[in-house]
Amino acid sequence: MSQVKDEDDIYHEKLPNVCDAVKKSAKNCCTPATAKKFLPIINWLPKYEWKFLIQDFVAGLTVGLTAIPQAIAYGTIAGLNPQYGLYSAFMGCFIYIIFGTCKDVTVGPTAIMALMVQTNVAGSADYAVLLCFLSGIVILLMGILNLGVLVQFISIPVTTGFTMAAAITIASGQVNNLFGIPSSSNEFIESWVNFFTHLNKIRRNDAILGVVTLIVLILMRKVKDIPCSCKMLTQYISLSRNALAVIMGIILCYTLSDDNLLAFSVSGEIVPGIPSFKLPPFHTAVNGTYVGFGEMVQELGASLASIPLISVLESIAVAKAFSMGQIVNASQEMIALGIANIMSSFVSSMPITGSFTRTAINNASGVKTTLGGAFTGIVVLMTLAFLTKTFYYIPKATLAAIIIAAMLFMVEYERIGEIWHSKKLDMVPFLVTLLVCVFWTLEYGMVCGMGVNMLFILYKSARPKIVITTEKLQKDIEIAVVDVHENLTYSSAEYLKSKVVKYVATYRQSIEMVVIRGEQIYTIDSTVALNILGLKKDLAALNCELVCWNWQISSAGVVCRLHHDARSMFKFSKTLQEIVTGEIQESTTTIQSDCNSTTIPL
């Protein structure tokens, strides 16, 4: 009973301390500094100037005119009705105003997200909306847990290969629409097979409109570079090229069409009206068959990991590209993106992320704060409320030309050259990512590229740079000096041992001592220590002595704690001559004495 009482007393003594710690943590979470960290709007809103409003309005309007045709096109790429692309284009803009850290970033649907969603629609748009909600939760948790560092494990060659593969796949999927050929696939191989096997179904009107629009869009990118007095005018003409292409396409389609016959293939009717705010679908029906939440999650499968990862990667890459010298808080960007996806799912959105194209337009338009996103969202909402009947006449060929033009400049051609010139071996993960993404899926392409990179890292750790040279001292004594230029880990322990033994066995008639320099060996593990002791025995069988010269104390201590007699191996001197002549006998004794105390930790 007394024992139980003692335990109760201990419990009641510790309980106030725990409660105090919880109260302190809760108090820290409610400080102004914490609020400013998680709500960046608190930082810039009090400093907002009225003169910024016009610039934010112009930038938001310009981005909105680009976002509308892109959203319709990306909704089609995702295998959804066009209005779902528009649903995805406005909520994220409003959420990012509150939680985002980069003034230029515009959140919404992107070509890569649309392509990855397309494989998960499974006959119902509810899958895309649920995927948006679940992806948002995953991204938000990653941000709360400060897992922004995970993005650093994806190398530039892998991201470059992924981006290039996505651009190739998306552009290939639009070739059929560019020429008016019916197609139900956006995959690389299937799209080109369909194109070449249905050349007889090319629609003349669509082909002419599509090719001409593509050429004009490419040329209009250069309008801003024309030297003239109206530099601002040429810049906005260039920035608004997608909107101008859509307007011209609508006018042509409406003018040349009869009551019962359209001059061009169109994307289809867009459901008018602002989407209702409702819970994401946790069950659905496919062909009249009820599908529960568990079955939907099972159907989404690996995309629940791949889409949040790619979404984070794309958004943070965009933020870094336009951070203008500021450090990007990756975890806060994750929180903003996660909340944006969660809230967007309540208005029937597919997964969203940072858009490079629209962010570049936002930056070029002179946006001052994230408030510019509000005007972009308003433009999209007005389109849904009043202009859906007008957008019914957007030709598929026009949208295809817009997408292909964007994909042509999405590939970082100069980055590929930099990878080739800097280190040709990095072309391997780039090519693996590119080929697997194009000929298999984007998700597995990214995984394979990361896997190849990890293999390179593991191989490098298993094969550190070790240089063995032979030096002759006192005319008749030859020693092998082993220079280890990198840290030793368990993966490289056996490699060091086998290389030294093989070298000594080759010159066994002359080498009497092996000296391993340890200035650069800052830390080792038990596997390395055991292999060092094993190396000593192997060399003894070859009538050769092992000396560890000037090792870091922390590394020497790992070996000494395994075997106390190993202290005699460690010598600390200025020259090899002192080791051979025994001039450091006195210092060795001192070191052994220090080993028993504190110099080499035991």
Question: Using one digit for the tens of pLDDT, what is the confidence trace for 523-538?
Answer: 888 888 898 888 888 8
Q: What is the pLDDT of residues 460-479, one digit of tens each?
A: 888 888 888 888 876 677 88
pLDDT at 10 over 70: no
Query: What confidence tier does 590 reach under pLDDT thresholds 50, 70, 90?
Result: very low
Identify the pLDDT of residue 9.
Answer: 56
User: Assign residue 325 a region: left if phi > 0, alpha if psi is -120 to 50, beta otherwise?
Assistant: left
Query: What confidence tier does 586 reach under pLDDT thresholds 50, 70, 90?
Result: very low
Identify the pLDDT of residue 517.
Answer: 86
Q: Among 536, 521, 434, which Cα is nearest to 483's?
A: 521
C-alpha dihedral sign at 44, 49, 53, 58: negative
**Single pTM value for the model:** 0.74
Decide: helix, strand or coil at residue 371: coil
Q: What is the pLDDT of residues 61-90, one digit of tens each?
A: 888 888 888 888 888 888 888 888 899 988
Name which residue leads in pLDDT, 74 or 239. 74
Q: What is the mean pLDDT of residues 258-268?
A: 79
Query: In the chain, which segments carry CATH 3.30.750.24?
Result: 463-596
pLDDT at 250 over 70: yes
Let me know: does 150 contact 142? Beta carbons within 8 Å.
Answer: yes
pLDDT at 55 over 90: no
Identify the pLDDT of residue 584.
Answer: 42
Q: What is the mean pLDDT of residues 214-237?
A: 80
Q: Among 83, 74, 78, which Cα is nearest to 274's?
A: 83
Question: How much is the mean pLDDT over the chain?
Answer: 82
In 88-230, which ranges are continuous DSSP H helix?
A: 91-99, 111-118, 125-144, 156-178, 188-197, 204-220
* Position 34, amino acid: T
Strands of 477-484's sheet in order across: 466-473, 477-484, 511-517, 545-549, 570-571
Nearest-angstrom CA–CA distance, 111 and 150: 23
CA–centroid distance for 311 within its chain: 7
Identify the pLDDT of residue 2.
Answer: 45
Q: What is the pLDDT of residues 111-141, one digit of tens each?
A: 888 888 888 787 788 999 999 999 999 999 9
Nearest-angstrom CA–CA distance, 344 and 347: 5
pLDDT at 591 over 60: no
Nearest-angstrom CA–CA distance, 347 and 353: 16
Identify the pLDDT of residue 226.
Answer: 75
Query: What confidence tier does 19 reach under pLDDT thresholds 50, 70, 90?
Result: low
Name which residue leads in pLDDT, 567 or 591. 567
Strand partners, 570: 548
Q: What is the pLDDT of residues 310-365, one digit of tens each?
A: 888 888 888 877 776 677 788 889 999 999 999 999 999 999 998 888 888 888 77
Nearest-angstrom CA–CA distance, 545 and 310: 55
Name which residue leads in pLDDT, 415 or 507. 415
Identify the pLDDT of residue 587.
Answer: 36
Q: Which of 297-301, 561-565, 574-578 has the lowest mean pLDDT?
A: 574-578
**Quick one: CATH architecture of 463-596?**
2-Layer Sandwich (3.30)
Alpha carbon distance, N-terminus to C-terminus of the chain: 43
